Amino acid sequence: MSKYLLTDPVNWLLDPSDPVMRYLTLRDLLKVRPSDLEEPFQRLIESHEIQNLLQDTRDGLLGDHKNYDTPSRGTLWLFAIAVLSGLDCRLPAIKKSAEFLLERTQLASGGFSPAWKPLREDACFTGDVLRYLLLAGCQNSAMETGIRWIESHQRQDGGWLHSPVFDFRDLAGYLMLRRSGRGLYREGDSGIPSCLFATSTCLSTLLLFQYRDKNDAQGYPDPGRGTSPILEKAAGFILRAGLFHNASHPPTARYKRLWNRDFSLLGLPVFSQYDTLLGLHLAAATGHFSDHQCTEAFNALLSKQSMQGTWYLETSERGMLTEKDPVIPASRGSKRVTLRVLIMMKEGGIYDPVNIGSNEGTGVSRQS
């Protein structure tokens, strides 16, 4: 339990009628033993939600593989949704889709490129794709090559920028002609700050890679272990702007029409997106949750809590997941958003789930 929660919602998240959220809660929040995840994983696969997702396959690949980077219907988007729902390379469709995406998107440099011409690495895209491949369980030299690309492209201010798309002209060229833009000229200009979106996704991916463990699907570090200089610099970039919670610190390195209107609104980021809950999570994962720069964002988060100890989905901007929950009334809150909050609080050392040390309420045992 936590003094910051009005009610502990963990048993709500563990409701057997929602196999997806039950599995994610057991794996990512309670971190139960792998042997105890086998039965929940099977129920996850058999669920109506996952069966519908897996039915959208063509030639054994998820979604539209000809337009694989198209939002909502392309192979990359459906692969990300599948992974975020708990699926991994144990399933043939996930494994084949991962291999396809790796072949189509990773360049010789190790970075990843969308389907634009000419092919050029993009930091946001690299971080996102690589993270989902890692979450799916991919383990090969290509993963390490991708990580090295991210590490070698960290900028002086601690963040990442590297993107051919900068202004309206670049964006129009990409959307209408699939052309990569001219934005890479900014990379070496120390007067231009790094991109919040690229920095948050690259930092998330580095954390996942550096601390992933076969028994730790989420892959974030124990804040007591300390972090590398690369992670510290990246965390500093986000912290210096107060996690970008305040609109007086807008990100200046991305075409403004693609920004969220308000980073304080809680969402479910999938590709090239950010909210302050993600910023708090990254601060906690790098051991900076107690930093004074987190105070405003954390207090604002607490103010959004319902009497049931849950949080609502407040935004579904482009690049975010739109949650549809036919089982639980919307008045109770969003299970996915609530789980994000609890994982962040646990990483920050301010939350210990009820019954986490016993079988009561979970049906499984916590790994030691």
Flag whether 7 is in a domain.
no
- Tell me what pLDDT residue 163 has: 74
Flag whether 290 is in a domain.
yes
Flag whether 251 is in a domain.
yes
Nearest to 132 by CA among 73, 208, 198, 26: 208
Flag whether 228 is in a domain.
yes
Instruction: Give residue-wise pLDDT tens across range 274-303.
Output: 999 999 999 999 999 999 999 999 999 999
What is the C-alpha to C-alpha distance for residues 329 and 162, in angstroms, rounded to an integer? 42
The CA angle 346-287-251, to the nearest 5 degrees, is 100
For residue 301, the SS3 value is: helix
Least confident of 144-153, 237-246, 248-257, 308-317: 248-257
**Count of domains for the chain:** 1
Instruction: Give residue-wise pLDDT tens across range 300-349.
Output: 999 999 999 999 999 888 888 886 643 344 557 899 999 999 999 999 99
Work out the burial of residue 349: count CB atoms within 10 Å of its CB; fewer than 13 is exposed, 13-18 middle, 19 or more buried.
middle
- Tell me what pLDDT residue 329 has: 45
Handedness of CA 76, 79, 85, 86 (dihedral sign): negative
Residue 53, pLDDT > 80, answer: yes
Where does the pLDDT of residue 233 fall: very low under 50, low under 70, confident under 90, or very high at 90 and above?
Answer: very high
Flag whether 1 is in a domain.
no
What is the C-alpha to C-alpha distance for residues 76 and 62, in angstroms, rounded to an integer? 8
Containing structural domain, residue 321: 107-347
Burial 259-282 (b: 16+ CB within 10 A, else e): bbeebbbbbbbbbbbbbbbbbbbb
Among 90-104, 240-254, 312-326, top mean pLDDT goes to 90-104
For 98-198, where are the E strands, in sequence order? none
- Tell me what pLDDT residue 62 has: 94
Flag whether 61 is in a domain.
no
Flag whether 194 is in a domain.
yes
Flag whether 9 is in a domain.
no
